[in-house]
């Protein structure tokens, strides 16, 4: 023995060491818990919030939280960061009221991923509680008929071993909360269990004072679970809890279990979440070194293929399964993932749709911004809709198929108001198909499905068209009036990710405008959202924070993605103090409407955040540094003018396209010459700045003058006047010559 670090006046009941070994928490029959530094015993903290003796203490994996199970049935959560301790929460109603010397345990076991912990309840279940909001998550039920005396997670959190006072020892699977095995040959009540860090071995001590070590503790089909990387804790509403951290393996020839028997749910979720969705590990690839079937995905019954059958074919597929192309996973634009028991299904300029999970059913609420036009409503949803779209005319919902109730995937449309009685309609998709993404416009409903079909319905449920998408797996879709844009994964690019391809077609005219054109994303960026702006031009927003609009998309082969706004170059971020990202909502009135997400948040959450809007600013030149020098101010002014010119030409050509190709209203048609004049006005300002610079800048000034679009000569005349005001006679003469040539009709781009 080296030294005594702390003494208690009453029996010590439990000790817990923090992960780094620095701190030891000591629980005794005294009322306070002592947390003492193992190296320097003079550093000691006392946790005094309890009123009764403490039975168990437990540090979490990071060493900052201490769970103190008190004999009054309350778990006290302390946060210990840098020697300052603070009572975070009293979790009541979780553990049983026990005496400190009782055999039954009230210990709290933290899951290795740090997000949740478990505790034994008075109903002999093991209840999992989330750390961030202290809400109850899944529970391991039905395993013990007597009080639980010990519990321990496996080192990777995939398995749970628990023992009861009736000599029972149970092994559970974390992901499904199912009992894998009960051990019958335990002679005495087990008081403490622990796992070997690497091997399939478990050791435990019992009431008789004996220490046992059991080899091959986990029976053979599940023993592979021990080898996988860190598993997520059993939380509610976790898509990751459905898919284990294994690679998405393409079914090989001999592997029947993977090919045929996989349930629809797993298929759907595997399509939905590519390897990118695995947050904790390195992309989720398991190197299948010795073919023991590590990288198998369990079929719908939770069973893995029996080991023997797959050992040979697995080796042959070794080289194949070691590299997988990274595909873009599908998403529904405008929706957020589950957080707690709520999520947004659709957030756009009309309003927002959110759903609350109430275990057996969901409750969906639809709220509008324009309270006068539409009334907010909510309803209970037994089908558990997971996607929604909202527009001025109605709301569209869709639910995935479920194996329990033999329910097929379904679309449900609810118009907001009708002149007859409200006509909602529901339609079911063929068995086995799920909806990957959907979109709602003023005249049609579009749904892309897992079978690769794009199904188009009218607003009241008449199926209009079905066609198979050329680039699957589908990613997302958007629509505006009769135009439909679908995005899917195409062939693999140079960096191992697939390229995204999009198509735009008009349903009414049955014309395809863009056919599998490339959706331009830089390396490493992913698509965050796709939508149509209010003028009908498709826009995308990528994870690099750039908003792009599609130019000349109505002509096949001419489409170009032009950046409208680079949110990383916004002025408000220039000082470096703010850490913000933006969640796109829509483009309207020449502004980009979005939600500001502060400090590392990825999605907006409740209460509903406010929309902010930003003016477009094409990333033409570097961010000007604000300074007081006059020259820099001039430079800033010049850069502003240049950006204005590029933006004005872009808007002019967008408007021109609109007017030429559609039945534009007279207001829209009148905007075209106005925009042209805007362009020329900016050019005049640029010309003025150039002339002010000096005599030697004549060439650039003449070039600016030749960029003028106006063909009536007035603008060039004004340009000549500006040159005259600055006494630039030579330049003025050249401009007049240019004007005359233009009037006559000679085109002379070469000669300056």
Partner 1 sequence: MEHVTVIPRQRLDGLELLGGPTKPLNPPFSTPLPLWLALLLKKQRRANISPPPWLSVEALTHILDFETDERTAEVFSPAPTMPRAIGMTPLEGDPYLSRDSLELSPPFMSDAATARAQEDALPYHWLELGHLLLTHAADDFDEPDTVRKLLRDLREVRMSKLRKGFKVLGPGAGIKMNGVGGMEVAEVRGFVVGMVDGLRKINRSREESRKEREIEERENGLGSSSYADEEDEDML
Q: Name the H helices within 626-695.
A: 630-661, 666-693
> Of the listed pieces 452-460, 492-500, 513-521, 586-594, which binds partner 1 according to CB under 8 A?
586-594
**Separation CA 179–CA 172 (nearest Å):** 4
Q: Is 207 left (phi over 0), alpha (psi -120 to 50) or beta?
A: alpha
Q: From the CB of residue 243, how many other CB atoms can be counted at a distance below 10 Å?
A: 22
Residue 622 touching partner 1 (CB under 8 A):
no
**Separation CA 732–CA 488 (nearest Å):** 55
Query: Least CB distance from residue 612 to partner 1, whole Å?
Result: 8
Size of the site for partner 1 (CB under 8 A): 18
**Separation CA 489–CA 526 (nearest Å):** 12
Query: Least CB distance from residue 665 to partner 1, whole Å?
Result: 18
Query: Least CB distance from residue 235 to partner 1, whole Å?
Result: 29
Report how many helices (DSSP H) and strands (DSSP E) the chain contains, helices first. 9, 42
> Of the listed pieces 86-94, 185-193, 449-457, 610-618, which binds partner 1 according to CB under 8 A?
610-618
Residue 65 touching partner 1 (CB under 8 A):
no
Closest to partner 1 by CB, 120 or 351: 351
Closest to partner 1 by CB, 297 or 715: 715
Residue 574 touching partner 1 (CB under 8 A):
no
The pair of structure tokens assigned to 272 is: 């939905």
**Separation CA 625–CA 41 (nearest Å):** 54
**Which residue from 594, 444, 433 is spatially nearest to 506, judged by alpha carbons?**
444
Residue 370 touching partner 1 (CB under 8 A):
yes
Residue 632 touching partner 1 (CB under 8 A):
no
Query: Least CB distance from residue 369 to partner 1, whole Å?
Result: 4
The pair of structure tokens assigned to 422 is: 């409200």
Closest to partner 1 by CB, 140 or 352: 352
Residue 727 touching partner 1 (CB under 8 A):
no
Residue 588 touching partner 1 (CB under 8 A):
yes
Closest to partner 1 by CB, 628 or 750: 628
**Separation CA 683–CA 641 (nearest Å):** 8
Residue 610 touching partner 1 (CB under 8 A):
yes
The pair of structure tokens assigned to 544 is: 């690099």
Residue 392 touching partner 1 (CB under 8 A):
no
Of 145, 227, 250, 371, which one interacts with partner 1 (CB under 8 A)? 371
**Which residue from 76, 5, 2 is spatially nearest to 36, judged by alpha carbons?**
5
> Of the listed pieces 52-60, 402-410, 465-473, 588-596, which binds partner 1 according to CB under 8 A?
588-596
What is the maximum alpha-carbon separation in the chain? 110
166-169: long-range contacts, CB 8 A cutoff, minimum separation 24: 168/143, 168/144, 169/193, 169/204
The pair of structure tokens assigned to 174 is: 């974390």
Residue 611 touching partner 1 (CB under 8 A):
yes
Closest to partner 1 by CB, 511 or 632: 632
Q: Output the DSSP codes for 293-308.
A: -TTPPP-TTSPPPPHH
Closest to partner 1 by CB, 370 or 660: 370
**Separation CA 56–CA 119 (nearest Å):** 11
Residue 373 touching partner 1 (CB under 8 A):
yes
- Binding map of partner 1 across residues 396-435, x = CB under 8 A, - = no contact: ----------------------------------------
Query: Least CB distance from residue 681 to partner 1, whole Å?
Result: 8
- Of residues 194 through 233, those in contact with partner 1 by CB under 8 A are none
Query: Least CB distance from residue 350 to partner 1, whole Å?
Result: 8
Residue 597 touching partner 1 (CB under 8 A):
no
Query: Least CB distance from residue 370 to partner 1, whole Å?
Result: 4
Residue 628 touching partner 1 (CB under 8 A):
no
Contact present, 435 and 429 (Cβ < 8 Å): yes
- Structure letter (DSSP) for residue 683: H
Residue 566 touching partner 1 (CB under 8 A):
no
Query: Least CB distance from residue 633 to partner 1, whole Å?
Result: 8
**Helix or strand (DSSP H, E) at 734:** helix 729-744
Closest to partner 1 by CB, 118 or 349: 349
Contact present, 109 and 151 (Cβ < 8 Å): yes
Closest to partner 1 by CB, 319 or 610: 610
- Binding map of partner 1 across residues 338-367, x = CB under 8 A, - = no contact: -----------x------------------
The beta strand positions in 317-443, using DSSP E, are: 342-347, 351-358, 361-368, 377-381, 387-390, 394-399, 410-415, 425-428, 435-440
Residue 551 touching partner 1 (CB under 8 A):
no
Closest to partner 1 by CB, 237 or 590: 590
Of 372, 405, 420, 522, which one interacts with partner 1 (CB under 8 A)? 372
**Which residue from 56, 52, 96, 55 is spatially nearest to 73, judged by alpha carbons?**
96
Closest to partner 1 by CB, 249 or 374: 374
Closest to partner 1 by CB, 505 or 676: 676
Closest to partner 1 by CB, 83 or 373: 373
Closest to partner 1 by CB, 125 or 671: 671
**Separation CA 331–CA 437 (nearest Å):** 7
**Separation CA 345–CA 332 (nearest Å):** 8
Residue 688 touching partner 1 (CB under 8 A):
yes
Contact present, 516 and 503 (Cβ < 8 Å): yes
- Side-chain half-sphere exposure of 152, counting CA atoms within 13 A: 17
Residue 667 touching partner 1 (CB under 8 A):
no
Which residues lie near partner 1 (CB under 8 A)? 349, 368-373, 588-589, 593, 610-613, 681, 684, 688, 718
């Amino acid at each position: 023995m080296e030294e005594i670090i702390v003494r208690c006046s009453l029996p010590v009941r439990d000790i817990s060491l923090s992960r780094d070994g620095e701190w030891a928490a000591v629980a005794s029959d005294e009322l306070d818990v002592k947390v003492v530094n193992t190296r320097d015993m003079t550093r000691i903290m006392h946790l005094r919030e309890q009123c009764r003796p403490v039975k168990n203490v437990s540090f979490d994996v990071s060493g900052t939280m201490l769970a103190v199970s008190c004999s009054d049935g309350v778990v006290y959560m302390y946060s210990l960061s840098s020697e300052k301790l603070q009572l975070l929460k009293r979790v009541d109603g979780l553990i049983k009221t026990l005496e400190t010397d009782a055999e039954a345990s009230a210990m709290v076991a933290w899951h290795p991923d740090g997000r949740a912990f478990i505790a034994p309840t008075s109903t002999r279940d093991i209840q999992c509680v989330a750390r961030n909001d202290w809400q109850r998550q899944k529970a391991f039920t039905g395993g013990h008929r007597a009080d639980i005396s010990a519990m321990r997670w496996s080192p990777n959190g995939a398995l749970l071993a628990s023992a009861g006072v009736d000599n029972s020892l149970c092994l559970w699977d974390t992901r499904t909360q199912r009992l894998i095995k009960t051990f019958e040959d335990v002679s005495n009540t087990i008081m403490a269990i622990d796992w070997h860090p690497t091997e399939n071995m478990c050791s435990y001590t019992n009431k008789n004072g004996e220490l046992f070590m059991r080899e091959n503790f986990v029976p053979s089909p599940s023993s592979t679970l021990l080898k996988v990387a860190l598993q997520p804790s059993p939380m509610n509403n976790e898509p990751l809890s459905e898919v284990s951290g294994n690679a998405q393996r393409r079914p090989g020839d001999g592997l029947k279990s993977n090919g045929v028997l996989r349930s629809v749910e797993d298929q759907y979720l595997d399509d939905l979440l590519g390897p990118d969705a695995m947050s904790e590990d390195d992309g989720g690839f398991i190197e299948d070194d010795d073919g023991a079937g590590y990288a198998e995905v369990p079929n719908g019954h939770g069973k893995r293929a029996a080991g023997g059958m797959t050992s040979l074919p697995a080796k042959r597929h070794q080289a194949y399964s070691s590299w997988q192309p990274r595909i873009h996973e599908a998403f529904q634009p405008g929706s957020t993932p589950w957080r707690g028991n709520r999520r947004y299904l659709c957030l756009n300029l009309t309003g927002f749709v959110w759903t609350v999970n109430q275990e057996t059913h969901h409750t969906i609420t639809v709220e509008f911004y324009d309270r006068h036009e539409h009334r907010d409503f909510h309803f209970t949803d037994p089908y558990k809709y997971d996607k929604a779209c909202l527009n001025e005319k109605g709301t569209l919902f869709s639910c995935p198929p479920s194996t329990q109730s033999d329910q097929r995937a379904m679309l449900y449309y609810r118009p907001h108001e009708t002149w007859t009685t409200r006509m909602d309609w529901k339609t079911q998709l063929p068995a086995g198909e799920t909806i990957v993404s959907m979109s709602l416009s003023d005249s049609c409903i579009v749904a892309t499905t897992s079978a690769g079909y794009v199904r188009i319905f009218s607003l009241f449920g008449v199926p209009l068209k079905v066609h198979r998408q050329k680039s699957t797996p589908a990613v997302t879709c958007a629509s505006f009036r009769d135009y439909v844009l679908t995005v899917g994964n195409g062939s693999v690019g140079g960096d191992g990710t697939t390229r995204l391809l999009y198509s735009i077609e008009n349903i009414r005219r049955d014309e395809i405008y863009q056919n599998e054109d490339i959706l331009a994303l830089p390396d490493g960026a992913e698509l965050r959202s796709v939508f149509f702006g209010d003028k009908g031009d498709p826009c995308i927003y990528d994870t690099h924070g750039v908003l792009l609009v599609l130019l000349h998309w109505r002509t096949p082969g001419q489409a170009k993605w032009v950046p409208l706004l680079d949110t990383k170059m916004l002025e408000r971020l220039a000082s470096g103090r703010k850490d913000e990202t933006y969640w796109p909502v829509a483009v309207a009135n020449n502004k980009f409407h979005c939600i500001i997400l502060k400090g590392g948040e990825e999605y907006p959450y409740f209460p509903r955040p406010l929309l902010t809007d930003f003016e477009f600013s094409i990333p033409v030149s570097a961010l000007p540094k604000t300074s007081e020098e006059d020259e820099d101010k001039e430079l800033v002014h010049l850069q502003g003018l240049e950006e204005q010119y590029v933006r004005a030409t872009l808007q002019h050509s967008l408007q021109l396209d609109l007017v030429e190709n559609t039945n534009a209203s007279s207001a829209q048609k009148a905007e075209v010459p106005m925009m042209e004049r805007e362009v020329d006005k900016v050019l005049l300002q640029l010309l003025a700045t150039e002339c002010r610079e000096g005599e030697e800048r004549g060439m650039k000034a003449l070039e600016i003058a030749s960029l003028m679009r106006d063909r009536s000569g007035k603008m060039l005349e004004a340009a000549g006047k500006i040159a005259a005001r600055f006494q630039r006679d030579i330049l003025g003469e050249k401009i007049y010559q240019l004007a005359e040539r233009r009037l006559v009709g000679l085109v002379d781009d070469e000669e300056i």
